[in-house]
Amino acid sequence: MTAPRVGADERRSRIGRRHALAASARVATPVETARAVVALHGTDPASTFLSACARMVSPDLAAVDRALHDPVPEDEALVRVLAMRRTVFAVPSDLVGATHAGASDVVAKEQRRLLLKLLVDSGITDEPEPWLRGAEDAAIAAVGDGQVTSADLVASDERLATRVTLGVGRADATEVSVASRLLTMLSAEGRVMRARPRGGWTSTQFRWTLPRLDPGSTTAEQGAAELARRWLAAFGPATLEDLQWWAGWTKTRTRAALAAVGAVDVDLDGAPGVALPDDLDPVEPVEPWVALLPALDPTVMGWKQRDHYLGEHRARLFDATGNAGPTLWADGRVVGGWAHRDDGEVVTLLLEDVGTETSAALDAAAARLQDLLGDVRLKARARRWTPVEKELRA
């Protein structure tokens, strides 16, 4: 039986509707924005806020802040988790259990292995497991019912202040506290979570607290299946390799998750792809739309194979390590990039001809974004400046 064909035009059409980017598809709340793309990227906190605002009917930085940090009802909460590809994501509260079980577990095991090895390689102890258990207990006790910084943990217990060496024997070796590495591991395990940062909404200096939600008893298989189902609903049809890369899974886990959701084969313009079995019909078209998406936005980072929306623009819009910078979108395609200058101006650069109407719409969107940013200045965090940003900021 011939696999159903899903062309690039259809895939681009789905982006505007399903990712809440077309004007008629935008949503009201920060949680709905995360749900549209499974999870909001959070390694750079500014991306979380701007990705949410790009998808809201009425962009509201304060509403995103409340969803992330205030004691709101569970169905209004976003929770930061360390999960897919050892990356921080902000997920709806009902996805926390599946994310921890189906993606964070891989990260947690690797972080524990690395920390145990660091303790030995740094000459701290030859019996790392009991030593680490004691440090874990000390860290959890120090967090208690409050919110603490890494520096607070260092000051609370000599084990947490212990220095370990990253890159033992290398010229670029550096020392860090056990507390900083331990927080990464404990967050992947779901035992602590990032709370309100010390600074404003772009700050990376997080406080830490105990989880505000019970992740439940989801198994790894159940969690992976739920993540696969939500990802395919938002990003599919796509390739197996796309999902494997996005989730940070092995091919074995990816295939098992796809089987669990009953994924079916499709033809992506000659390439093998997969889709949910009830998601093969064309979507209703949306009106023409434009968007300015921030660096590391979940849409531009949602696939490994990006030709159907990125075209030939990768080299100018991604940094040398594969991280996306700020992008201009029109009708499901990346058509250029933008940058935030130190004087506060949002400036754009088109990389192809989009016509005067679309160009004017992008200019108007840039002006709205500039107003939203106000006195804040965006920097390249968790990535490097892209060639387009360097050109625009010169």
Q: What average pLDDT does this structure show over 23-46?
A: 97
Q: What domain range is 205 assigned to?
A: 95-209
Q: Is residue 224 part of a domain?
A: no
Structure tokens at 377: 């200045």
- Reduced to 3 states (helix: H, G, I; strand: E, B; else coil), residue 117 is helix
pLDDT at position 97: 95
pLDDT at position 153: 95
Based on the structure, what is the number of domains in the chain?
Answer: 1
Q: Is residue 101 part of a domain?
A: yes
Q: Is residue 153 part of a domain?
A: yes
CA–CA separation, 264 vs 269, rounded Å?
16
The residue length of the chain stands at: 394
CA–CA separation, 269 vs 145, rounded Å?
54
- Which residues have C-beta within 8 Å of that of residue 351, sequence separation ≥ 6? 313, 316, 317, 335, 336, 337, 388
- Reduced to 3 states (helix: H, G, I; strand: E, B; else coil), residue 321 is coil
Q: What average pLDDT does this structure show over 200-215?
A: 89
CA–CA separation, 132 vs 116, rounded Å?
7
CA dihedral 237, 241, 243, 246 (to 10 degrees): -130
Q: Is residue 104 part of a domain?
A: yes
Q: Is residue 81 part of a domain?
A: no
Q: What average pLDDT does this structure show over 54-78?
A: 96
Q: What average pLDDT does this structure show over 301-329?
A: 97
CA–CA separation, 182 vs 57, rounded Å?
39
Q: Is residue 50 part of a domain?
A: no
Q: Bridge partners of 209?
A: 193
CA-based nearest residue to 246, from 34, 254, 14: 254
- Overall pTM surpassing 0.85 (yes/no): yes
Structure tokens at 151: 């520096």
Q: Is residue 288 part of a domain?
A: no
Q: Is residue 141 part of a domain?
A: yes
pLDDT band at 166 (very low <50, low <70, confident <90, very high): confident
